[in-house]
Amino acid sequence: MGKAFDAIVIGAGVIGAATALALARQGRSVLGVDKLPAAGYGSTSGSCAIIRPYYSTADGSAIAYESHFYWNDWEAFLGAPDERGLARYVDCGCMVLKTPGNQELAPVKRTMDEIGCPYEDLDAAQAIAKLPMIVLDSFFPPKRPDDPAFGETNPTPLSGAVFFPTGGYVTDPQLSAHNLQRAAEANGAVFRFNVAVTEIRQAAGRVAGITLDGGEQIDAPVVINVAGPHSFKINRMAGVEEGMKIKTRALRHEVCHVPAPKGVAYEGEGCVFSDSDIGAYIRPETGNHILIGSEDPACDEKQWVDPDDFDREFSEQWRVQVLRYGQRIPTLGVPEHAKGLVELYDVTDDWIPIYDKSDLPGFYMAVGSSGNQFKNAPISGEMMATLVDACESGHDHDNDPVRFTLKHIGREVSLGFYSRNREINPNSSFSVLG
């Protein structure tokens, strides 16, 4: 008989740490384990950490809007100190260009009206006034620089944008995971780092615990897979992947850090800015830099990788993304040396996460975060704890999905939306936008 806990959380990224906190607040004894040396040390540390309310579905948007209120009062949510200080949420707002491809954001505005999320509808002049460094020429569809038509403009410029005041970004995503770890520990949780899970043990038809490298066995009637890009490997270890309609895999991504154009105080005056016309997004970065990420346009080949063996060096994609954004910001320079991040997304078939039980009783999953769930981490943890509590009490979640109340916006959502057995959601953007 090994050591025993009420629940084991595999993965101590921002969602794993939030799940450990929520379970500990239920009064459970919780162990968080991670193969890396610290909380949030993996894909969380490479997150763009953007907080935004707009997704392609109403439930996704409602949860994302709700997340703003958690980050905006982060200290109160945590309820515990951290010797490293607390992560800072820069509530600068988010602007999204209206394009023919996103139907001038009419569906998004309808969703915002449905969930009660505020927004400002901007015409072209108002959009330029909000971000004077941009032009509103249309370059759609997104292209690569070796395309002869790259940089050519369409006859009709873009009509404007929508600005969402309840959004922004977190300056230090790794620190936010550490904050959650400390809050979980204040509620009795225990964390172990630099340990890899080698077996999901079973007994009497349900999960029984884990085995670590080195052979140590730890018992628990509940095990939750929050292993990020490694989630599919943990699911295979548990023998549950084949029984899932929706699966996950690891996608390599590059994020560029470049200086803001001369004379532009983007760090202090800019906002998160999403541009489906060229298939990219930006946000302010420390040192008056601009962070440039991809919105996964069709012209860019997706790099599905083994999370234990992938290239962490920048590729030609870095230059592609910078040049692509140079269309929108004509004064943006292309630095001689590439700076930024190379990390992984944990992607489902429809880019919507799985927050669910599995076919193995006691084994749960918070996986497929797709690079777009950082913002939802505090709520994701609470949803997982609610799900575990219901299922372990005998609730049949597969046939009667558990409901979860978003306490700040007063809306109830069905956790069946995130089922492993759902049909692929045709309303998804099938990109990092979710």
Give tens-digit pLDDT for 314-342. Answer: 999 999 999 999 999 999 999 999 999 99
Does 210 have pLDDT greater than 60?
yes
What is the average pLDDT value for the chain, to the nearest integer?
96
Mean pLDDT of 411-425: 95
Give, in degrees to the nearest 5, the angle at Cα 381 between 378 and 387: 140
Rounded distance, CA 337 to CA 335, Å? 5
Mean pLDDT of 39-59: 94
Q: How much is the pLDDT for 371?
A: 78
Could you tell me which residues come within 8 angstroms of residue 281 by beta carbon, excluding any fewer than 6 positions away?
A: 48, 50, 272, 273, 274, 275, 292, 293, 295
Q: How much is the pLDDT for 434?
A: 62
* pLDDT band of 2, cuts 50, 70, 90: low
Share of the chain above pLDDT 70, in %: 99
Instruction: Tell me, rounded to whole angstroms, the distance of Cα 173 from its chain centroid.
Output: 11
Give tens-digit pLDDT for 143-179. Answer: 999 999 999 999 999 999 999 999 999 999 999 999 9
Token pair 């009783």 is at which residue? 361
* pLDDT band of 427, cuts 50, 70, 90: confident
Mean pLDDT of 292-311: 96
Does 56 have pLDDT greater than 90?
no
Q: How much is the pLDDT for 1?
A: 42
Does 185 have pLDDT greater than 80?
yes
Does 49 have pLDDT greater than 60?
yes
Domains of the chain: 3-86+172-248+350-418 (3.50.50.60), 89-168+249-348 (3.30.9.10)
Does 28 have pLDDT greater than 80?
yes
Mean pLDDT of 58-71: 96
- pTM of the entire predicted model: 0.97
Mean pLDDT of 428-432: 76
| Residue 169, burial from CB neighbour count under 10 angstroms (0-12, 13-18, 19+) | buried
Give tens-digit pLDDT for 252-271. Answer: 999 999 999 999 999 999 99
Mean pLDDT of 205-213: 98
Mean pLDDT of 105-133: 97
